[in-house]
Structures are given as structure tokens and as C-alpha cells.
Amino acid sequence: MTSNSIDFHKIAGDLNNRYKEHVYSKNQQDYTELVKIYRDLVVKSPLGRQLPQLFNSIFKYEDPLAQEAALDVIDLGKIYQGVDERTKKQEEQGDTLDIKYGYTDFIVMELLKWFKHDFFKWVNEPETSTLQGKARLIRVEPPTALESQDGNASSVEVYQCEGDGSIIRFPRYNDPVKLLETKKGRCGEWANCFCLILRSMGIRTRYVWNAEDHVWCEIYSESQKRWIHIDSCEESFDNPTLYNKGWGKKMSYVISYSIDGTQDVSKRYVVDKDKSLPRNKINELDLQKILRFLTVNQRRNLGKDEIYKLSIEDSIEKLELNGQKPIYLQSDIVQPRQSGNDEWKEKRGEDGK
């Protein structure tokens, strides 16, 4: 290298370091500015008050004891056998595939399969002890002290057997460790328990909430460098059009939560204008400020390199959400909801009609 030559590697490195410093400083600056108005933003609307509560709920998946409990129930032999089969099949298909997934993606696919078919059970109504009649919902009431303590139940559905008149209580547990024991529920319990299972395997995971009463998960795929839709109720992987186009579900807000922060991912899932509901529960600017505060607050104790990495991921995701769509594994599969009985699906507007 001559004295007049330009060291482009050094220049690029210096620019990169300066940009990292800028991203880090911006994170701290946003926190300082937003912390002053955060409380006022939150109290403006019921949705604003709900957002932090949903965010705080994801930390239960980070409990080491809870993760150990999840690892104890997973059939790892079956999971890894399935992963090996998927890996071999993908290698055989080679260049004929439009999209290729990584080893961790295959682990998630196998976890979905095992969870739905071997582990967890869907509950339309609880089973009765008699063959003379099914259970009929008669009321919903607060949990007892024991139900709250035992599994952090949010409410209890009370049923009566049409055969012998006996009363059956169905607590809606929120503790994912308790759900590892009960192994049953509807979409709330399914997503809650599956998020813990994903985190126990060291997989970066989001809990995804929809204002129209559905929840699911996302995982960050290192092979695809993007967040991927996961629904354990449906054994659905990378099919975000499932709800709008498949179920015919009308939707407005879809918010994702992880230990790295939170994101409005509505554009990933609300893709059918005819099935799009008004977003009038909170001012849009207030919504973005609340989500931004929750994110920068969570990241403010991270190092510069980690904040920079997450910021790059955020930028790529925003490009996707604003129209630069990736290829999805199941983008051509549109099907009605599989979980739940017909009456329940019709009542929720998720029967594909």
C-alpha cells in the first residue's frame, strides 16, 4: 500500500463504528424523551393501558425453572428424528426449492407437529363423567384463591353436565408451567405454552396478540433473517395470510412482544382490505410512541453491538412490513380454521366465510 492509497476497509470500519454509536445514542435519547410522556400516553385509552401489561407477560418465558420444566416434557428423540428427515428431504430436492430453511426452522416445524398431535389438547368444552350428555356453559366467574395461586387463572368457565347435572370448572390458566401439566385449552393456552417450549429450546420467540381475540407466536429464523409466523393450534409455519384469507377473520391491531422489544406487525397479517377493521382504539402516533418506549426501555442496558444488531433487524422488518414481502413457505395455502368446533368458529367469524 502506497502513502497515497486509500484504506477503504478502515474507512468502512470507522463509518460502521460511528453508525453504531449513533444507533446506541438514539436508543438512549428516545428513552429519555419518551419516559417523560409515557404514563400520559398509556392512560389515554384502554388499549394503551393494555399494551404494557401484554409486554410484561412475556418475561415468564425467561424463567430458567420454567424452561427446565418445558424441556422435561419435550420428546427430543422424536423431534430430532423428524428434523433429520426434513434436512435429508431438503437436500434431495436441492435447487428445485424456492426457499430453503435451516436446522432450527426444522426443529420448530417438528415441535409444532409434536405439540398438536401428541402433547396438547383442544377444548371446546370440558369432558363430562357421564355419557348421557355434554357440558353446557352456564357462567364465567373469577377464579378461587387456589385456582389463582395454582396456575394464575384469569377466569373460570363453569359448565353443567346435561346428563347428571354435575358442575365442571374449567380454569383459564395463564401460567405456562401449569399448562405443561394440564395440556389443554384454547388458543390462549396453546400459544402461551408453546412460547415457553420454544424459549426452552433457545429459540428467539415472540408472543403475538391480535385485538380480535387470537394469539400466536413468531420465531426469528437465522436462515431467513426474518421473523416467521407460528400457530401451534393450526400447526402452521410461515403462513401469515392464514387468518385474513384462510379463516376470513376481520382484524385491526396485531402486536408482537419479545424480550428484545415490541413491534406493530399488523401489516404482516392484515392483508385483505375487505377484512380490515378500523384502527380507532388509539391514536396511531401514540401507539408508536408506546411501542417505541417499551422497546428502548428493554434495550437500554444492552451493549452497543447488540443494540446495533437489533436495530438492523428492525429496519429490515420495517421494509418487509411496508411492502417488500419475502417468499413464504405456505403463501399459496388458504384454508379455514382447523381448531375448534364449527359453532365456535362461526361465532368468532373464523370459519372461512
| Catalytic entry in 193, 214, 229, 233 | 214
First to last CA, the chain: 69
Q: What is the pLDDT of residue 15?
A: 76
3-state secondary structure 35-60: HCCHHHHHCCCHHHHHHHHHHHHHHH
Does residue 156 lie in a domain region?
Answer: yes
Q: Is the pLDDT of residue 306 over 80?
A: yes
| Catalytic entry in 161, 187, 193, 217 | 187
Q: Is the pLDDT of residue 142 over 70?
A: yes
194 and 132 belong to one structural domain: no
Does residue 5 lie in a domain region?
Answer: no
Question: What total of structural domains would you count in the chain?
Answer: 2
Average pLDDT, the chain: 91
Mean pLDDT of 141-170: 93
214 is catalytic: yes
Could you give the angle at the alpha carbon of 289 between the alpha carbons of 282 and 303, nearest 5°? 150
Domain boundaries, position 144: 124-175
**Regarding predicted confidence, which is higher, 122 or 336?**
122
233 is catalytic: no
Confidence of residue 265 (pLDDT cuts 50, 70, 90): very high
76 and 218 belong to one structural domain: yes
User: What CATH number should be reported for the domain holding residue 131?
Assistant: 2.20.25.10
Tell me what percent of the residues of the chain surpass a pLDDT of 70.
94
259 and 211 belong to one structural domain: yes
Q: What is the pLDDT of residue 327?
A: 64
Confidence of residue 2 (pLDDT cuts 50, 70, 90): low
- The strand ranges marked E within 151-272 are 153-161, 167-173, 184-185, 205-210, 214-221, 226-231, 236-237, 254-258, 261-264
Q: Is the pLDDT of residue 330 over 60?
A: no
| Catalytic entry in 231, 233, 238, 260 | 231
Q: Is the pLDDT of residue 309 over 80?
A: yes
**Bridge partner list, 231:** 236
